[in-house]
């Protein structure tokens, strides 16, 4: 199997900042030496190709169960789990050659599973609706309803971008999915469109001149509204993302450019009505 154009996206579960940085360094050092891997930041909305979980971290194991690993999205445990789990694993401390050998084997098995899937013409990868991620203790049912919200049935996707090439690309891509698309090149137009037309999702290209994505998100999100509008930032680099400010204004997360077509469509479908 030849290496894919984009590196395989890895979601880490149960590791601290220093450990995550060590994975980043190992992945960077491995570039050009076989399969490539890149760690997804916590707020990166892209679905992972593989999961790596700290076996001793029960919260990580619970999160892993939510992601429902499979041959198509496999998981690797590091360390010894406190409960029996049928996932491949390696020992702690991490020896990077062992890690990459294990990941490469999972990638090869994933390729075999994809080949069998394509040959059978059966789709078994389910779309997961993104669950709310409350960062506060909820005691009032009304607070829960505000957090939960509803997706507008006929909601469109609003793209904030002045680059005509990007707009044409997104228009063609989303048209094939029968997703209505609107455009805005400045904050005032974007806010006015969201006030007059139901929007299921808003994509903000953060490199658009004159746009403060966090201020714009704050203006788009109508407080106490029963309708939920998802705001996603399109970043040139994950380091541009201010997680604290994003959480405060209600940004759901980000995607880094360039974005593979299937990643963008998969993410958007999580925030559109099921009828789509």
What would the DSSP string read from start to end of 180-246? -EEEESSHHHHHHHHHHS-EEEEEEETTSTT--HHHHHHHHS-TT-SB--EEEEEES-GGG--HHHH
Are 247 and 148 found together in one domain?
A: yes
Q: How many domains does the chain have?
A: 2
- Taking residues 106-114, report their average pLDDT: 90
Q: Is residue 74 part of a domain?
A: yes
Are 173 and 110 found together in one domain?
A: no
Q: Is residue 189 part of a domain?
A: yes
pLDDT band at 133 (very low <50, low <70, confident <90, very high): very low
**161 is in which domain, residue-wise?**
141-270
- Helices 213-220 and 187-196 meet at what angle, rounded to 10? 20
Are 261 and 152 found together in one domain?
A: yes
Q: Is residue 256 part of a domain?
A: yes
State how far Cα 222 lies from the chain centre: 24
pTM metric for this prediction: 0.75
Are 224 and 254 found together in one domain?
A: yes
Q: Is residue 3 part of a domain?
A: no
Checking if the pLDDT of 139 tops 80, the result is no
In sign, the C-alpha dihedral spanning 41, 43, 45, 48 is positive
CATH number at residue 76: 3.40.50.2300
Terminal Cα distance for the chain, rounded: 34
Q: Is residue 127 part of a domain?
A: no
Greater confidence (190 vs 138) lies with 190
Q: Is residue 128 part of a domain?
A: no
Q: What is the DSSP string of the chain?
A: -PPPSSPEEEEEES--HHHHHHHHHHHHHTTTSSS-EEEPPTTB-SPPSEEEEETT-HHHHHHHHHH---SSS-EEEES--SS---S-EEPSSPPHHHHHHHHHHHHHHHHHHHHHHHHHT----PPPPPPP---S---SHHHHHHHH-B--TT-EEEEE---HHHHHHHHHHHHHTT--EEEESSHHHHHHHHHHS-EEEEEEETTSTT--HHHHHHHHS-TT-SB--EEEEEES-GGG--HHHHHHHT--EEEESS--HHHHHHHHHHTS-TT-
User: What per-residue confidence (pLDDT) applies to 247?
Assistant: 92
53 and 77 Cβ atoms separated by less than 8 Å:
yes
Residues 34-85: tens digit of each pLDDT: 899 999 998 999 999 999 999 999 999 998 988 889 888 999 999 999 888 8
Question: Nearest-5° angle of CA 185, CA 190, CA 192?
Answer: 135
Are 145 and 212 found together in one domain?
A: yes
Q: Is residue 73 part of a domain?
A: yes
């Amino acid at each position: 199997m030849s290496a894919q154009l984009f590196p395989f996206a890895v979601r880490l579960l149960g590791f601290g900042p220093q450990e995550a940085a060590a994975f980043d360094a190992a992945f960077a050092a491995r570039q050009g030496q076989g399969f490539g891997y890149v760690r997804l930041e916590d707020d990166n909305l892209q679905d992972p190709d593989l999961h790596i979980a700290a076996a001793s971290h029960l919260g990580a194991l619970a999160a892993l169960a939510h992601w429902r690993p499979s041959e198509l999205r496999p998981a690797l445990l590091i360390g010894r789990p406190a409960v029996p789990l049928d996932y491949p694993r390696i020992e702690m401390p991490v020896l990077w050659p062992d890690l990459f050998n294990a990941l490469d084997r999972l990638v090869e098995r994933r390729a075999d599973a994809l080949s069998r899937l394509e040959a059978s013409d059966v789709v078994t990868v389910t779309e997961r609706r993104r669950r709310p991620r409350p960062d506060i203790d909820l005691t009032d049912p009304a607070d829960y309803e505000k957090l939960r919200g509803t997706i507008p049935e006929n909601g469109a996707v609003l793209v904030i971008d002045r680059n005509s090439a990007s707009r044409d690309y997104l228009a063609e891509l989303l048209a094939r999915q029968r997703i209505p698309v609107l455009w805005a090149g400045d904050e005032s137009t974007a806010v006015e469109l969201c006030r007059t037309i139901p929007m299921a999702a808003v994509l903000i290209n953060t490199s658009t001149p004159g746009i403060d994505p966090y201020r714009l998100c704050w203006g788009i999100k109508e407080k106490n509204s029963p309708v939920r509008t998802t705001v996603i930032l399109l970043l040139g680099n994950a380091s541009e993302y201010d997680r604290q400010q994003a959480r405060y204004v209600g940004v759901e997360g980000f995607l880094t450019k360039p974005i593979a077509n299937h990643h963008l469509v998969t993410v958007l479908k999580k925030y559109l009505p099921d009828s789509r």
